[in-house]
A and B are shown apart, each in its own frame.
Chain A
Amino acid sequence: MTTHHVLSSGLDVETLRKQFPVLHQQVNGRDLVYFDNAATSQKPISVINALIDYYQGYNANIHRGIHTLAEKATRAYEETRQVARSFINAKSVQEIIFTRGVTEGINLIASSYGRTFINEGDEIIISGLEHHSNIVPWQFVRDERKAKLNVIPVRDNGQLDLEAYKKLLSNKTKIVAVNHASNSLGTINPIREIIQLAHEAGAVVLIDGAQAGPHLPIDVQELDCDFYVVSSHKMYGPTGTGFLYGKKEILENIPPYHGGGEMIRECTFEKTTYNDLPYKFEAGTPNIGDVIAFKHAMEFIQSLGRESIAAHEHELLTYATARVSSLKGVKLVGTAPEKVSVLSFIIDGIHPFDIGQMLDARGIAVRTGHHCTQPLMDRFGIEGTVRASFAVYNTKKEIDQLVEGLERIINFLK
């Protein structure tokens, strides 16, 4: 009889790992250690089976078909929207727009909201912690609308400088777009305060929840954010989908992003009237299969409980931080008191690329480089970091393997 170690989070991780087929393999002759979860997480069997069931059992185009398969597919697709609504506690399913992921969600708002409400001389605020996907769309808007793009500076420990943020806000500020948690450093931002301050200045707020979706409880009504975006593939779901939450009254007052099927009510060559929310923003045949499977990913998270997930990941992060930072020459990048399970570091005299390759040779998958946050790397005067990011299925034993690998590299290259 085997007894599984049950962690303080109450999760039985060994049993949970059995739900993830991809984890049970050898890479370069060793058990795979997957620490690249901030890039994309692995998928539980329920998600994989949902994809198979859809394509084997009821693949059909949704919404307009009257046959049985179309009806079944439509129902499954809309069920995901209901689960998404409850996942972030939105008021209505009309506020959930399926997208390809966070990048598309941000581009949608930058285009539809930005081109409607941002004018010459207006200001947009982002932060120094942003991923390129929450920088570049705003540069488009800035250039097109002759607006100004301001950046909340980052402090040495990876926290945002809120005093500087307060000074940036004015009645010219039209939108504030920041992440809930940083993909490079893990910093959890005080978004409630950021949102409240923006609202006092009369600006709306978009929260990039790419790194929060799999880790943190999200309540958009409590936060009072205007837009919130997530990607399925970082939340144990399939790639190529995600959703945008937007307050209904705002979404109703901005134009569609893409034109095509599904999003119209009436279409003549002279004039087109648009469909109701959320369909107004879902032009064309959507990513039906992946959206359907995404429901199972959110249910997986809900079944474990985000508090339990956060507790387990916090335990991993604390352990990894202590062990990795004690190694010779290691410097942590990002030491904010509140972090999601991301450990970014550099090692004196060793290029991150070499560390990544050598860890891979031992079956350990980490990310190296700038993590699509070049301005943030510039802020710290570095080219990149090594990033180990943990998910609910990771273990302390795997962290020991990481540390062992790093020790070998340090000893070899010194």
Chain B
Amino acid sequence: MTINQTQDEIISEFSLLDGDMEMTVFYIMELGQKLPTMPEEDKTEENIVKGCQSKVWLTSKLEDGKVYFFADSNTAITKGLVSLLTRIFNGQSPEAILSTDLYFMNKIGMERFIGTQRSNGFAAMIKQMKLYALAYKTKMEVRL
């Protein structure tokens, strides 16, 4: 599945919630609960993407030219939001990740959760994912 196919899939899932904010929040948290748990030893200061109120840990690996992210958060909502990103990006090439426009965020009303608030590390998280992708891309080019 391409990145945009996954984004479209997410948009269609969220459209079933019909804009009900409470249902949306519960759904996001449910998604977070399904995110595979990150090994405690990876929850280091180094892997932290820091927001004001919630913490996000992020690691990644490159396998056969594809990127895989592993993430966790100390807050359920941020964890759910993060799970959407790993779902979209995992198994994609560094180039595809770098050129992605994350239009699904606007479509599912996610700006409500990231918006102007400093309170979660979500915006920093996206930036960090793209930085990992950029590093892998550079590494692959050097190898070629």
Q: Is B78 an interface residue (CB 8 A)?
A: yes
- Contact check, A413 vs B76: say whether CB atoms are below 8 A apart: yes
Per the CB 8 Å criterion, the residue count for chain A at the interface is 19
- Contact check, A412 vs B29: say whether CB atoms are below 8 A apart: yes
Q: Is B25 an interface residue (CB 8 A)?
A: yes
Q: Is A337 an interface residue (CB 8 A)?
A: no
- Contact check, A350 vs B76: say whether CB atoms are below 8 A apart: yes
**Residue in contact with B52 in the complex, picked from A350, A358, A369, CB distance below 8 Å:** A369
Q: Is A86 an interface residue (CB 8 A)?
A: no
| A residues 351-373 in Cβ contact with B at 8 Å | 351-354, 357-358, 360-362, 368-369
Q: Which residues of A contact B64 (CB under 8 A)?
A: none
Q: How far is the CA of A362 from the CA of B54 in the complex (A)?
A: 21
Q: Is A101 an interface residue (CB 8 A)?
A: no
For residue B32, which residue of chain A has the nearest CB? A354
Given contacts A351-B75, A369-B119, contact A361 B53 (CB under 8 A): no
Q: Is B20 an interface residue (CB 8 A)?
A: yes
For residue B23, which residue of chain A has the nearest CB? A361
Total number of residue pairs linking A and B with CB closer than 8 Å:
47
Given contacts A358-B25, A412-B26, contact A351 B20 (CB under 8 A): no
Q: How far is the CA of A70 from the CA of B113 in the complex (A)?
A: 46
Q: Which residues of B contact A357 (CB under 8 A)?
A: 25, 77, 113
- Contact check, A353 vs B22: say whether CB atoms are below 8 A apart: no
| A residues 362-414 in Cβ contact with B at 8 Å | 362, 368-369, 383-384, 408, 412-413
Q: Is A272 an interface residue (CB 8 A)?
A: no
Q: Is B120 an interface residue (CB 8 A)?
A: yes
B72, chain A: closest CB distance, angstroms: 13
- Contact check, A353 vs B120: say whether CB atoms are below 8 A apart: yes
- Contact check, B29 vs A28: say whether CB atoms are below 8 A apart: no
Q: Is B47 an interface residue (CB 8 A)?
A: no
- Contact check, B119 vs A351: say whether CB atoms are below 8 A apart: no
Q: Which residues of B contact A353 (CB under 8 A)?
A: 53-54, 75, 77-78, 119-120
Q: How far is the CA of A28 from the CA of B77 in the complex (A)?
A: 17
Q: How far is the CA of A358 from the CA of B78 in the complex (A)?
A: 12
Q: How far is the CA of A368 from the CA of B75 in the complex (A)?
A: 12
Q: Which residues of A contact B76 (CB under 8 A)?
A: 350-351, 354, 413
| B residues 119-137 in Cβ contact with A at 8 Å | 119-120
Given contacts A354-B29, A360-B21, A362-B22, list 19 more A-B pairs with CB under 8 A.
Answer: A28-B22, A351-B53, A351-B74, A351-B76, A352-B53, A353-B53, A353-B54, A353-B78, A353-B119, A354-B75, A357-B25, A358-B22, A358-B77, A361-B21, A361-B22, A368-B119, A383-B53, A384-B53, A413-B76
Q: Show 10 residue pairs from A and B whose CB-CB distance is below 8 angstroms, ordered by the A residue.
A: A29-B20, A351-B76, A354-B77, A357-B25, A357-B113, A358-B25, A360-B21, A361-B25, A368-B53, A369-B52
